A and B are shown apart, each in its own frame.
Chain A
Amino acid sequence: MEKPEQSKRSVGWMGLERGHRARPLEWLAEKMIFLVSLSAILMVFLIFIFITREALPIFLGQTDTAAARVIPADDIDKLSPEKLRAYLGLSPEDFKNKDHATLKLLMQLREKSAAENGDNKDAGINTTSWRYMLKPYQWSDNDRPEYIWQPRGEIQKFNIVPLLVGSLKVTIVALLFSVPVSLAAAIYVSQLCPPNVREVVKPSIELLAGIPSVVMGFFALTVMSGALQSIFHYRYALNSLLAGVALGLAVIPVIFSIAEDALTSVPRTYLQAALALGSSRWQAAWQVVVPAALPGIFAAIVLGFGRAVGETMIVLMASGNASVLSWNMLDSARTVTATIAAELGEAVSQSPHYRILFMIGVLLFIVTFLSNLAGELVMERLKGRLEGKR
């Protein structure tokens, strides 16, 4: 064992292994290439860090929408600058740009508005605490506890449950529609159809993946909404069912191509053995090839789920965007992604509303990250298993 080790080393001495002495440029280039290749890792980290950074005050409970105890404007000099800034809800930059008189005017305005709606008992609630974001609450204009997302208005209500339910509802419809269709197509294309049909069908379905989601949303809005409404005769043209079906169309190519890949990667010998035992092509596909590729099919569904949860433009355009908590498929729904897309543009930078939108973005990132990871791991295991068996 010693000898080959030594001879290998002597070759490497002049060449690449100890390259930084023999060829400094080569060594430097390799290190640079390595550093650049870390950028993908860096980006995943940066994404997580910087959307969490904007949402951090929510996680730490530092935001407060409660109308604080009113401080008389004449007491302005008794407050420390930091306290005054927090009281007026200004960003540090804004605060710096305002002179004493403006600040006093702002305090007087605050005093006046507090005197006008002093009777609203909800005004003293910090709606950005977890209790109000997750549990139902009986607001003064409701007759029972409810989950409400209503970032506009006097009292901002940030209950995220309706958004989560909306996302889940639309995603479930999308998967109910796309999973059977795309798996059936994957089985057909990979196992049952003649090769020349396959040559045409596969790129066509991949072409479907090339349709931008805003175009899919447009199609759902203009063509499908009317068609579905005339079939099912429901009241609201834009609802979870429509958004789900349109979303399903976008997910089909994802599930199809991964499942088709998994089915094709099952060794040919499996199929041949089954056929030799007298099974028909369908039986061989269903009872031999599909079970062997099952982890891959599972991964396809998980990755399809990740895509469906994260899709924005289709649900933004087709779901109706009413943030009511309802499990009814024919009601309008508002998803997490559509909420961010629709509201971030008008949310004041650094405001509680803005931060909560980043917070649900973090949730979205975590959910898709985990589903991608799960899909990836299952695929890796499948590959290992099939290669081991070969």
Chain B
Amino acid sequence: MSAVVGMDLRSRNPQWWSLFFTGLTGLATLLILAILALILGDALYHGWSQFSWRFVTGAAQDIFDVHQAGIKPMIFGTAARVIIMTIFVMPVGVITAIYLTEYAPHGALVTRIIRGAVNNLAGVPSIVFGLFGLGFFIEYIGQHMDAGIYGAGAAPVWGKPALIWASLTLAVMTLPVVIVATEESLRAIPQGLREASLALGATKLETIIKIVLPQALPGIMTGAILAIGRAAGEVAPILFTGAAYYMASLPRSLSSQFMDLGYYIYVLTTQSPNVEQTRPIAYATVLALLLLTFSLNFVAILIRSRMRNKLRALH
């Protein structure tokens, strides 16, 4: 009732008000899109001139040298850390999602706590993951490994920032991404498929491995790609867990540090001796990072929509 009364009081001419507010909200939407276009356009416009095959595959002694600049070590470092991260996060994330969709008793306390933990993990600030990586992986696990392998007092090998610790930190950070994406794809599989498999005498585990998981594969891949896309651009978690300002050679083992695309952008814009001069390299690196994350996101969206169409046909 009150809504109707309110309507009468508020406007003699509802049509006019409606038009005004529709326009206003539409403008807000347009503003967001315009900013997005501005960011992408700016990066593309300024980054393109410096962007070349040599830039992508080269490496320079002086990371602030505009003419020599190359981002091969950064691309290598970023790729290495996300690949190692994927190896660790995928099994854990997928198995957790399997538990949540296939085994977990509906509405039970433990299920709710797991879900709550997943949601909370997704909301933990990235810098806190950096602190965690330092406090747990480096100061605790790494130092104990050093003490165990090389004896007390030896120079730290694992108890210092390293590729493996940065990757593991990112794996913890992207765990919720993988769980949520996998869960979504598992839920989308028609219950009938599971029932048919069980009816033919397969056990629950056989059903999951032979029927459910192959069907969910595109969704699981989407999860992996989204996790990689998220992790590739993150800088805060790797600041103290492995990223290096400069390294003469590519990382050779899991215990070496690495150079990184996002960290390089940060270094170029805040620690460069001449910000104006190094700006073109910064723009080109931004463009490279955007191309990387966007193409990953794009592939994820593509797989997801194809999967939805396929499942729609199944239903």
Nearest chain A CB to B22's CB is how many angstroms away? 5
Inter-chain contact B132/A50, CB cutoff 8 Å: yes
Chain A residue at smallest Cβ distance from B17: A282
Q: Find chain B residues with CB under 8 A from A288 CB.
A: 3
Provide the bound-state CA to CA distance between A279 and B10, in Å: 13
Inter-chain contact A40/B96, CB cutoff 8 Å: yes
Q: Mark B1-40, 1 if CB is under 8 A from A, else 0.
A: 0011011000000110111011011111101110110110
Point out the residue from B28, B114, B119 that lies within 8 Å of A181, measured CB to CB: B28
Q: Find chain B residues with CB under 8 A from A53 CB.
A: 135, 140
Which of B53-61, B212-220, B235-243, B249-257 sits within the interface?
A: B235-243
Question: Does B113 belong to the interface (CB within 8 Å)?
Answer: yes
Q: Find chain A residues with CB under 8 A from B4 CB.
A: 277
Point out the residue from A192, A208, A287, A369 that lies within 8 Å of B36, measured CB to CB: A208
Inter-chain contact B239/A341, CB cutoff 8 Å: yes
Inter-chain contact A287/B7, CB cutoff 8 Å: yes
Point out the residue from A50, A189, A219, A256 that lies within 8 Å of B135, measured CB to CB: A50
Inter-chain contact B31/A181, CB cutoff 8 Å: yes
The interface residues of chain B, by DSSP majority, are classed as helix
Chain B residue at smallest Cβ distance from A188: B25
Q: Find chain A residues with CB under 8 A from B122 CB.
A: 372
Of residues 126 through 171 on chain B, the ones whose CB sits less than 8 Å from some CB of chain A are 126-132, 134-136, 139-140, 152-153
Inter-chain contact A310/B128, CB cutoff 8 Å: yes
Provide the bound-state CA to CA distance between A358 and B290, in Å: 32
Nearest chain B CB to A136's CB is how many angstroms away? 27
Provide the bound-state CA to CA distance between A184 and B203, in Å: 50
Q: Mark A199-237, 1 if CB is under 8 A from B, else 0.
A: 001011101101111111111011100000000000000
Inter-chain contact B3/A287, CB cutoff 8 Å: yes
Point out the residue from A34, A37, A212, A283 that lies within 8 Å of B289, measured CB to CB: A212
Known contacts A218-B286, A317-B266, A281 near B22 by CB under 8 Å: yes
Inter-chain contact A50/B117, CB cutoff 8 Å: no
Provide the bound-state CA to CA distance between A134 and B29, in Å: 42
Known contacts A37-B99, A193-B26, A310 near B18 by CB under 8 Å: no
Question: Does A33 belong to the interface (CB within 8 Å)?
Answer: yes
Known contacts A16-B204, A46-B132, A223-B42, A215 near B172 by CB under 8 Å: no
Q: Find chain A residues with CB under 8 A from B125 CB.
A: 309-312, 337, 364-365, 368
Of residues 49 through 101 on chain B, the ones whose CB sits less than 8 Å from some CB of chain A are 91-92, 95-96, 98-100
Residue among A37, A97, A203, A344 with most chain B CB within 10 A: A37
Chain A residue at smallest Cβ distance from B268: A218
Residue among B21, B129, B294, B301 with most chain A CB within 10 A: B21
Question: Does A280 belong to the interface (CB within 8 Å)?
Answer: yes
Question: Does A180 belong to the interface (CB within 8 Å)?
Answer: yes
Known contacts A282-B17, A307-B123, A312-B126, A192 near B26 by CB under 8 Å: yes
Inter-chain contact B25/A54, CB cutoff 8 Å: no
Known contacts A46-B136, A252-B32, A361-B131, A26 near B203 by CB under 8 Å: yes
Inter-chain contact B124/A51, CB cutoff 8 Å: no
Nearest chain A CB to B82's CB is how many angstroms away? 13
Question: Does A286 belong to the interface (CB within 8 Å)?
Answer: yes
Question: Does A101 belong to the interface (CB within 8 Å)?
Answer: no
Inter-chain contact B21/A286, CB cutoff 8 Å: yes
Question: Does A109 belong to the interface (CB within 8 Å)?
Answer: no
Question: Does B262 belong to the interface (CB within 8 Å)?
Answer: yes
Nearest chain B CB to A189's CB is how many angstroms away? 6
Known contacts A40-B121, A192-B26, A211 near B21 by CB under 8 Å: no
Inter-chain contact A47/B22, CB cutoff 8 Å: no
Question: Does A106 belong to the interface (CB within 8 Å)?
Answer: no
Nearest chain B CB to A270's CB is how many angstroms away? 11
Question: Does B205 belong to the interface (CB within 8 Å)?
Answer: yes
Q: Find chain A residues with CB under 8 A from B290 CB.
A: 211-212, 215
Of residues 242 through 287 on chain B, the ones whose CB sits less than 8 Å from some CB of chain A are 262-263, 265-266, 269-270, 279, 282, 286
Chain B residue at smallest Cβ distance from A321: B270
Point out the residue from B123, B131, B301 that lies within 8 Å of A372, measured CB to CB: B123
Q: Find chain A residues with CB under 8 A from B223 CB.
A: none
Provide the bound-state CA to CA distance between A215 and B233, in Å: 8
Nearest chain B CB to A58's CB is how many angstroms away? 13
Question: Does B309 belong to the interface (CB within 8 Å)?
Answer: no
Q: Find chain B residues with CB under 8 A from A50 CB.
A: 132, 135-136, 140
Inter-chain contact A222/B269, CB cutoff 8 Å: yes
Provide the bound-state CA to CA distance between A192 and B29, in Å: 11
Q: Find chain A residues with CB under 8 A from B117 CB.
A: 40-41, 43-44
Inter-chain contact A340/B127, CB cutoff 8 Å: yes
Question: Does A388 belong to the interface (CB within 8 Å)?
Answer: no
Inter-chain contact B124/A365, CB cutoff 8 Å: yes
Provide the bound-state CA to CA distance between A211 and B103, in Å: 36
Q: Mark B189-216, 1 if CB is under 8 A from A, else 0.
A: 0000000000000011100000000000
Inter-chain contact A204/B33, CB cutoff 8 Å: yes
Inter-chain contact A341/B127, CB cutoff 8 Å: yes
Nearest chain A CB to B95's CB is how many angstroms away? 4
Residue among A221, A222, A303 with most chain B CB within 10 A: A222
Q: 7 A-B pairs, CB-CB below 8 angstroms?
A: A36-B99, A43-B175, A93-B152, A181-B28, A340-B130, A344-B239, A361-B128
**Residues of A with Cβ closer than 8 Å to B?**
16, 23, 25-26, 29-30, 33-34, 36-41, 43-44, 46-47, 50-51, 53-54, 93, 96-97, 180-182, 184-185, 187-189, 192-193, 201, 203-205, 207-208, 210-219, 221-223, 249, 252, 256, 274, 277, 279-283, 286-288, 303, 306-307, 309-313, 316-317, 337, 340-341, 344-345, 349, 357-358, 361, 364-365, 368-369, 371-373, 376
Further pairs besides A47-B132, A287-B7, A310-B125: 13, Cβ < 8 Å = A26-B204, A33-B103, A39-B96, A53-B140, A212-B232, A212-B234, A212-B293, A214-B233, A215-B233, A218-B282, A317-B269, A345-B240, A368-B124
